[in-house]
Structure 1
């Protein structure tokens, strides 16, 4: 007999299969142009007329040199030659891209056989100022004594850097479910601190992208996104936007944000030894476009945070191991002196509590039942 499948189950199943890196759309605040290895344009975003004066499909098949200033094209070629891998994005700031005096910030990356430029209006001088702003933030985070303090410090500083209404630190468990372990928010904004979310909250393909592309942004959930043309290459493949910074996002995720009342969002990956430890999840209740320079500083901040986190967790593990060895040595020394565990249970309990927090402890020693704190009675304990 067939089992009925709910609409929610169908939505979750599709969400886990949705090819979000091939969505074929970008957000309208930027432009995209892709080239073949011989610098022939293969794709262009439908809004390119504002940038180049030419329609997107008219640009396809033409040399890049017809639309990009020679000096800018020289700089772009130089950056492409030094890209470390297909999962590396390089950046150029304040570029006179089309030779008309307008300046743009440009992201450069590889996508299969194509080179991709993502272009946004520039804000002069911001990058230098913001990078210098990140340095003291990192210094203050290093002073955190615990991982919990570090996460709270990270949320506070990232909100100061970006201006989002709420910044959460979202940590993943081994089963991929998540919990909000730190938060910094504007007055009047509801708290999510301590809330838990199922693994299905973030689809598997989205987690994969988070390990490759460290920062994603949604400027306005009501944005009319722009198509990347043509939809497929001459080889029959859509353009892979895994490394895109202006890629449109899944309609399912847009609906999710709208249901929360969120108008703009950003997420920054927190990595530990190549694995996704968690996310900075940022929400804003009005549309918010962060310049590329601010997002670059936020990405740099996230990389520093990940490095400090790994150090902090490593230090905590070493401290616990050292205390456990000390506990072992103390217990062995007492037993070696002939002390009965039953007679010194209270001392043992105090020592053990320094390593293993507990509400109560029970022991059966030489036929006698002993307990400390909240523990079963002898009658309750005997059947165990």
Structure 2
């Protein structure tokens, strides 16, 4: 029976695979129920938990994760419930294997999306430690200079080659060297693109009638998105939206070369964007 089942998986049509988004290569995805039963798992999950993705589905996550990290993750989840935020944990050892992972999870359509990547080499806290100083450097600036300063500081924080800040009808760019058109006109890009040329991994079961995987931070690219990024010379993207006085803004960070996923840098970028929105608000009040 297992052989027949595997053969049927291999025969999944391209149309179904296109409808069900995967996860970017090098990352792992678990789609969980609210009581942490595994509903779907990326097909590389054996590298994360030491068990086949087929084995994981319909089982409690606690069967495969050590008690202490599971307890810590569930505590984070209890504080996350009812919000639209992202919870993160760093340098987590999930199993008896010595490998460490950084984890991000959030709620999407009544499910928990848990994404994991190998832990970053640099120490935790380095990115967060720079945010206060970067925002302090904006003191005394206003108007267009404030927007330009925000874009420059986001580029300094993230290390990407170009950062474009959009807010209302404004578009401000800070870049290191010339890039081509970029990713701004490509609809539906995931929040983080680590390497546009690396492909993606399927999520099992691929023919699931219900899924929240399209909300994953590291959702796989479509073929069209990957081609358009390649044509523009962009290999990695980090999108950081924010809101100021009810108006939507976004920092779009782009790199010519692949960038390993760093959930701490992403969290620090979100914090910088939030503090920048507050700075914009204060500037508007002072000059309104």
TM range, normalised to the smaller chain?
0.7 to 0.9
C-alpha deviation, 1:303, in angstroms: 1.2
Q: Which residue among 73, 83, 100 is the counterpart of 1:76? A: 73
| TM-score between both structures, scaled by the size of structure 1 | 0.64
User: Partners in 1 of 2:269 and 2:251 — Cα distance?
Assistant: 10
- Match in the other structure for 2:23: 26
Where in structure 2 are the equivalents of 1:152-191 lying within 5 Å?
A: 152-173=148-169, 179-180=170-171, 182-186=172-176, 188-190=177-179
User: Partners in 1 of 2:251 and 2:223 — Cα distance?
Assistant: 21
- 1:237 aligns to 2:210 (yes or no): yes
User: Partners in 2 of 1:64 and 1:71 — Cα distance?
Assistant: 13
Does the CA contact (< 8 Å) of 1:34 and 1:41 recur in 2? yes
Unaligned runs of 5+ in 1: 1-21, 174-178, 210-214, 319-384
- Match in the other structure for 1:273: 245
- Match in the other structure for 1:379: none
Tell me the SS of whatever aligns to 2:90.
strand
Where in structure 2 are the equivalents of 1:194-273 lying within 5 Å?
A: 201=185, 203=187, 206=188, 216-233=191-208, 236-242=209-215, 244-273=216-245
CA radius of gyration, larger in: 1
Unaligned runs of 5+ in 2: 1-18
Does the CA contact (< 8 Å) of 1:39 and 1:64 recur in 2? yes
Aligned pair count?
A: 269
Using CA pairs below 8 Å that are at least 6 residues apart, which structure has the higher relative contact order? 2
- 1:104 aligns to 2:101 (yes or no): yes
User: Partners in 1 of 2:42 and 2:149 — Cα distance?
Assistant: 39
CA, structure 1 residues 23+249, in 2 after alignment: closer, same or farther (shift >3 Å)?
Answer: farther
Quote the RMSD (CA, aligned, Å): 2.5
User: Partners in 1 of 2:80 and 2:71 — Cα distance?
Assistant: 15
C-alpha deviation, 1:232, in angstroms: 4.9
| TM-score between both structures, scaled by the size of structure 2 | 0.84
User: Partners in 2 of 1:262 and 1:52 — Cα distance?
Assistant: 32
Does the CA contact (< 8 Å) of 1:159 and 1:184 recur in 2? yes
